[in-house]
Structure 1
């Protein structure tokens, strides 16, 4: 960045400043030569960066469609610093001051260069005088001060407060140099300005440069004479200028490049990243992560866009539980290996179970696919996309945890994760006092996808029966698929089993097309997400010639409206179909937002509205809505064993009883996901909370309220009339 106070020689009686004050013609020529050299290095090095992206594989998604709108949206996000303010007000304000100050100084330098090198040679005049100069000087001084203060806060957070998430094995000398270079550029600009003002005898109009004027007064008070200031000015000016030119040349070489890569990454981001995963090529020879060349250009851009801020690390529940996963480290390890390979380093496996590899398999197995890392990232790094690629490579090589492998086998052979006979899938309905319609035989409004756990797990069968009771009570036209319902495939896909996911998807799409229904309703947020966001994206036709695939569906599924059951029942409550008055229950409860319902699909209010409709006193968890802490069951975590200390479910229950406003007065921990119910029932036992809190599903709470309301009405009807 050429300093804003590279001065243009002007008459001293004008309201302006001499740009190259005390800088002779030879020095001026040297400066222009060095400036051209710095810009050339910047451009050539940036081009080489772009070449690295182009060397990556093609991305399955259209990343640059509607480019003008993308650029405008990215500019709004970056300039407002909105993502940075979320979750850390101090960091947001600090970065805003640095960004806005830096951009102001950059614009000021550009304006000065236009006047000096274009306008003046063409017109013989200058606009850098009078009111323009005074306004320019005031704005630059004010915004430059924000720049320096912001950097001061950053220095304190890193070296004084030593904020944990800013530290790690990927932080080091280049981070220190970046931060201190910016700080010295800001301070050096003011020092240059103060020395000039003092050396020129305090021109009266320069009071608009209030920081430089104040610094000149301080220097004069310290014994610096105008003569001494004029003598040392060229040394100060050259020190500042050389540092600025070195910084410009160094931008593409390391961390400073994130200033450009981050913006580009936001421009190319996918609004549905994580909730939908990219597919795999139909080419049988295609690989997932055998080498760094398998990663797409967007994966590589993600790596360069990472600012090492550590927000993903601090948000990650696996990291908080002591597992071997730090999302930042995975992204930066891949970047480091890519750069090492470009420099001629020896090739090693990208991901493997032990041995020498870039990423260890246990690291990938630790991921819960909760998307907390992506939600926390201010520059839209799509961690889950790269993580899934690594998991697919582990599946390709057969380096998968035995428990996970058993689950894959169960789905492959029996159609469900339990390995139970499919003929028993609808057995949970036998204890109901009414029949559940077979959607394969009767046209229904809602095709209800029950899911594995509500169908086979004893604790979750109670939830399925509760939901069926609510549907029956409200006269909803619904039906289920019985033994034609299989596992939806959401979590095995995130664990890397893409082919098995495709088989499950093709089975369900074929089954859906054979039924007559208007909408799909899901018990499980995981199936809700995959039916809504992933099934319609699959092009089954491209696998029709693959001997490993049995895809009876040709092309893509047209889709259908997909709902989580809380959204459907919320409408029933609003319409009065359940007859609730909102006073039936008086329990003190807290609610846990499931990742796939909340963070994945932005549904936060429907479950809360249902809880409040029962009359319960809902007390929010400190970490709620998009800040919710994962139960630990996603991404295959439900089927894996980890020595977490504490388990995510245990930590969440502790939070409910100790950190909510109601404290240990919380009686019920309410969930809206079968996996969450399973994980928290386990955490209640292992964490020693069995006598302290009850785990219930929203459906069970509603049924209790409906039964309470029915009992009240029956009691009222049986009461003898007065007189």
Structure 2
């Protein structure tokens, strides 16, 4: 396209109207800015090295981790979840910024490398025209994205973007980026006007538009030529100040977020770290800043204050004193205060001057909605569990939870009933449930506490046993040798009791001959699948464990169970430990649809499901709430689903059954909705 004789003309001078002294000053300031940047990054990394060793591998298969993080961050996939506009906004800002950064780098390579080596510039001709078109377009994308961000923060005033940690740095970060974007176009427009509109610069459509607008407003080429150094220096100094400030304020998340995603544990939350054996009781849990691992410190720095975790937290929505974002940022603020010479206080305690109050940790339902919503892979639940362990060690656990833990210690179940009564529910069946201790079985069925002792949930156990019988599968249970699985025991901070349960349950299970473990409760499924194999006492691996919905879905597919057509419209609730924790979304839905009922989805479904409120010890607590999570979920089922005729609320978790039966009463939904476990629906459909 461009003739060789023209190629030297199709370019632009980088330091147009800037003197040699000005160039020297710019290079000096650029060097200072880069040195300040590197020193700040060094200080941050040095602080992380003072954190304790993380219990899980974080940098194994580093190339694979970097590639995975690049895909996640580059696609902005986590940001599109639940918020399409927010996802587009961040993608526009991020890719616009990166394009402008690469454009500046290319220019520096040409000026400070290529020209010095080869004596000529590659910043000419077709390359320059392509460069100008791409940079102008992506710069416009950048400015549009920032405009959306400003509108969401200041005009729309989205609640989740404002909180106790919102500060001037948030405003400065956003407005600095916006001024850099707009300032770049202003500088370009003044130059184009000052050079009297060179024909080839029409490819820079945004800059050309600015130049046209300035000319329309009365600015002449001579005026633009005189004014250009002012715009150039203003833009350059603002850019250099931004570069220097990156490690010291909110812009650091551009680096820490990527690093945090690289170091992310794919099983974070589904498995929790063990307490090191060499720790003394006064060293267990979040005792001081030194007790935080380097990854936890990185978590704190990666937080962007976006509030996505806060907006999905069922504890916050119900009025409990927990905001996941505030907990992470409170810890960060305390760390920075101590590093600056401030006084030290307890990390977590019941009242007083601690960083985090015990009531905040008691409010957590361990549902992992915060972690699922976080676009930078902050592992909130690991922080929360460490603080719960500290409360446990100092005797500051909620009294109702203490009672439940004592029941577990004395009787092996949270109800405090004798072990011999665990299999009493089998007495009402017209067939005998096999004892897996006396015969080899294909499926060792771990029944769980609530299906064994709770009157309402005993119907779930009976229904599942009936389905196993109708399918003719080879199964058995542990009878009184079974103890509570310990999933929630661990999440309220009782690590010692949990490890005792692991040893006892693993011994009881491994005394049997079986091929697969199947559980009634998703909580049991999670800990047997993801956590028990971490202990030497356990000899099975995660592939040996299934939830009953997976087994029943397979039986239906094989024709061992043939559900008949039922009438009515139902909605299905994804239990946190089955869905969000372990990604089991489709088998339950296949089972529901196999019965013939119409399945309608609630707006919050699958990984976006809203917790019932029973996890993390919530089932044992009596907390003050503005509205129970179970009541809010039932309201959603009745008012927000596409159908107005939902008559059954289907669940696949005994804890959910308990919480929603309670919410149906306290919320006044007894005459509007029936709570049905999936096993009960299938029994009805296979009669």
What is the TM-score normalised by the length of structure 2?
A: 0.98
Give yes or no for contact 1:195–1:233 (8 Å, CA) kept in 2.
yes
For residues 210 and 608 of structure 1, the distance between their equivalents in structure 2, rounded to whole angstroms, comes to 52
For residues 437 and 95 of structure 1, the distance between their equivalents in structure 2, rounded to whole angstroms, comes to 57
What's the secondary structure of 1:448's corresponding residue? strand
1:604 paired residue among 585, 606, 613:
585
Aligned to 2:550: 567
Residues 521-557 of structure 1, C-alpha deviation per residue, up to 9 Å, x if partnerless? 0000000000000000124xxxxxxxxxxxxx4x865
What's the secondary structure of 2:442's corresponding residue? strand
Q: How far apart are residue 579 of structure 1 and its match?
A: 2.9
Q: How far apart are residue 474 of structure 1 and its match?
A: 1.1
Aligned to 1:121: 116
Aligned to 1:384: 381
For residues 543 and 315 of structure 2, the distance between their equivalents in structure 1, rounded to whole angstroms, comes to 34
Aligned to 2:637: 656
Structure 1 residues 150-299: aligned runs within 5 Å: 150-285=145-280, 286-299=283-296
1:641 paired residue among 622, 626, 636:
622
Aligned to 1:719: none
Bigger CA drift: 570-579 or 102-111? 570-579
Aligned to 2:600: 619
For residues 98 and 569 of structure 2, the distance between their equivalents in structure 1, rounded to whole angstroms, comes to 51
What's the secondary structure of 1:186's corresponding residue? helix
Q: How far apart are residue 287 of structure 1 and its match?
A: 2.7
Give yes or no for contact 1:368–1:634 (8 Å, CA) kept in 2.
yes
Aligned to 1:530: 527
For residues 518 and 60 of structure 1, the distance between their equivalents in structure 2, rounded to whole angstroms, comes to 31
1:500 paired residue among 497, 503, 515:
497
Give yes or no for contact 2:79–2:87 (8 Å, CA) kept in 1.
yes
Q: How far apart are residue 706 of structure 1 and its match?
A: 1.4
Aligned to 2:29: 34
For residues 12 and 577 of structure 1, the distance between their equivalents in structure 2, rounded to whole angstroms, comes to 76
Aligned to 2:424: 427
Structure 1 residues 54-203: aligned runs within 5 Å: 54-203=49-198
Structure 1 residues 676-691: aligned runs within 5 Å: 676-691=656-671
Q: How far apart are residue 675 of structure 1 and its match?
A: 0.1
For residues 379 and 441 of structure 1, the distance between their equivalents in structure 2, rounded to whole angstroms, comes to 50
Q: How far apart are residue 147 of structure 1 and its match?
A: 0.4
Aligned to 2:3: none
Give yes or no for contact 1:178–1:255 (8 Å, CA) kept in 2.
yes
Q: How far apart are residue 284 of structure 1 and its match?
A: 3.1
Q: How far apart are residue 13 of structure 1 and its match?
A: 6.5
For residues 315 and 655 of structure 1, the distance between their equivalents in structure 2, rounded to whole angstroms, comes to 14
Give yes or no for contact 2:573–2:609 (8 Å, CA) kept in 1.
yes
1:47 paired residue among 42, 49, 57:
42
Aligned to 1:594: 575
Q: How far apart are residue 615 of structure 1 and its match?
A: 1.3
For residues 450 and 312 of structure 2, the distance between their equivalents in structure 1, rounded to whole angstroms, comes to 28
In structure 2, do the counterparts of structure 1 residues 559 and 267 end up closer, same or farther at CA, with 3 Å as the change threshold?
closer
For residues 295 and 418 of structure 1, the distance between their equivalents in structure 2, rounded to whole angstroms, comes to 35
1:416 paired residue among 403, 413, 416:
413
For residues 667 and 241 of structure 2, the distance between their equivalents in structure 1, rounded to whole angstroms, comes to 56
For residues 598 and 189 of structure 2, the distance between their equivalents in structure 1, rounded to whole angstroms, comes to 62
2:480 paired residue among 473, 479, 483:
483
Give yes or no for contact 2:510–2:539 (8 Å, CA) kept in 1.
no
What's the secondary structure of 2:115's corresponding residue? helix
Residues 485-536 of structure 1, C-alpha deviation per residue, up to 9 Å, x if partnerless? 0000000111111111100001111112211000000000000000000000
Give yes or no for contact 1:518–1:560 (8 Å, CA) kept in 2.
no
Aligned to 1:327: 324
1:699 paired residue among 667, 675, 679:
679
Residues 251-304 of structure 1, C-alpha deviation per residue, up to 9 Å, x if partnerless? 000110000000001111011111111111011324321101101000011111
What's the secondary structure of 2:197's corresponding residue? coil
Q: Which consecutive residues of structure 1, in runs of 5 or more, have no partner in the other structure?
A: 1-10, 540-552, 708-723
State yes or no: 1:18 paired with 2:13: yes
Aligned to 2:506: 509
What's the secondary structure of 1:590's corresponding residue? strand
In structure 2, do the counterparts of structure 1 residues 316 and 612 end up closer, same or farther at CA, with 3 Å as the change threshold?
same
Residues 576-616 of structure 1, C-alpha deviation per residue, up to 9 Å, x if partnerless? 21233x42x10221111100010011111111111111111
For residues 626 and 638 of structure 1, the distance between their equivalents in structure 2, rounded to whole angstroms, comes to 21
Q: How far apart are residue 12 of structure 1 and its match?
A: 11
C-alpha RMSD over aligned residues: 1.2
For residues 482 and 69 of structure 1, the distance between their equivalents in structure 2, rounded to whole angstroms, comes to 45
Give yes or no for contact 1:588–1:618 (8 Å, CA) kept in 2.
yes
Aligned to 1:8: none
Q: How far apart are residue 559 of structure 1 and its match?
A: 6.0
